[in-house]
Amino acid sequence: MISEPPQKSTWEQWYPLINDPGLHAAGVEVGARAVVQSKGSPKIRIVFRAGKRKAEVKCVHVAVYADSLESLPPDEELARSSEHHRVKLPPEEHFFALNSYVAGIAEVGLGAMFTMARKAGDQSVGFNSLMQQQLLQALLHVAPAAALDFCVWMLDDAFKVEGDIPSTADFITHLKTTLASHKHSPLGFLARLAGDTDREVRIGVAENTRTPPELLARLADDTDTYVRRMVALHEHTPLETLVRLAEDEKKVVRLMVAGNPHTPVEVLARLAGDEDNYVRRAVAGHTNTPPEILVRLAGDDVRFVVAGHQNTPLEVLERLAGDVDADVRWGVAGNENAPHKLLARLAADVDVDVRRAVAENRNTPPEVLARLAGDEEKLVRRAVARHKGTPLETLARITGDEDKLVRRSVASNKYASREILVRLAGDTDEEVRARVARNQKRLDLKETYGV
């Protein structure tokens, strides 16, 4: 115990966790820290460290009654948070109080502290559920493997002593949820937690990348829709389970199956006929959806998604380029597989968003970009000014554009020539000149160092 306060702005004292063998073997220490501030009380923290890693827990100071318990008035609270009841103490007293508390934790052991807190039930102050959660998160940061073993031990101990833990115990629920979602949790515990009464715990298991296929198949029958949603999205969900979930009564579950990047073609084919528009839309946007399914969906109200798909056949793109719906034409205009003749046709579209999509398409040919540089809409001209394929003579022409954002885009275009940048160097807009300077610097480096 420190007898006199150190003469410095930050005070610390560290203790080994001898009575917590796993944490001690991992080199975890617990410390008390107080940082003196020019105004107000010092910042007091419980800190953990292991090697170069540190994590701290913010403390709300609790005033400790120094006299005997017998002298307390009978109706007085034994402990009261100072969060809303300011306690005026010298900085060193704050540190001494915290240091005494931390030294006690180290002496008793964290495992014993958690066990006693669990038996005592939820408390408003002190080693309560919130404090326990923060300590646990700090431990998981500084020593993940040892902290995880510590969590497993605590939960196992709780199950052995008390059987099925009531879900009303906040910390135990938090502990189970942490284990359920942790990427290094033992498979045996995941299997146990998959049957937990708390939905948040089961959701954690369903989201965990470590959860094996057989456990996901079990969770696919869960009564909770959100649990089944997470199973439908999981990368390890078996094919037969995805087939089953594709028939789920909840459309949001079917939507997750349609959005799973690992969903096979045969399941996508089934979902292409789903009654829900959003499910069919997800199928139309799926990377693995083959041309034959896209042809089917090209006559659907989700055809605007089909129009932008990389696997959509050219004959379908040609048909969709003449669609009455501007959103469908916009999809074709942005499709990098669209042939040049279609892009040229869509460059004259009545809809500004369609023309802008052509100007943003990285495969749009130079002659089409040159035509769009004279578009009446500044949004289209800005896209041309940014495009890597815009001819230099076109970029030179729009250096005099009335819209300053067009000129800024030219000034930032890394394919602009030095002559173009020189022309823009005297622009009336300060931001144009600043972008020219940055682009010229890049050109200088490229010419000097070839980078």
pLDDT of residue 32: 93
Tokens matching residue 196: 């937990």
pLDDT of residue 166: 46
Side-chain half-sphere exposure of 286, counting CA atoms within 13 A: 31
pLDDT of residue 36: 80
CA distance 229 to 254: 8
pLDDT of residue 168: 38
pLDDT of residue 164: 47
Q: What is the pLDDT of residues 374-393, one digit of tens each?
A: 999 999 999 999 999 999 99
Question: DSSP letter at 400?
Answer: G
CA distance 172 to 136: 12
Question: Which ranges of the chain have pLDDT less than 50?
Answer: 1-3, 5-7, 69, 78, 164-168, 451
Question: DSSP letter at 71?
Answer: G
pLDDT of residue 70: 59
pLDDT of residue 148: 87
pLDDT of residue 450: 54
Length of the chain: 451
Domain boundaries, the chain: 1-69+81-141, 365-451
pTM for the predicted model, two decimal places:
0.74
Phi, psi dihedrals of residue 109, rounded to the nearest 5°: 105, 140
CA Rg value for the chain: 32
CA distance 367 to 244: 52
Tokens matching residue 426: 């005297």
CATH number of 365-451: 1.25.10.10
b/e map of 261-288 (b: 16 or more CB within 10 Å)?
eebeeebbebbbebeeeebbbbbbebee
CA distance 340 to 220: 47
pLDDT of residue 250: 97
pLDDT of residue 189: 86
Q: Is the distance from CB of 36 to CB of 42 less than 8 angstroms?
A: yes
Residue indicated by tokens 């006559």: 299
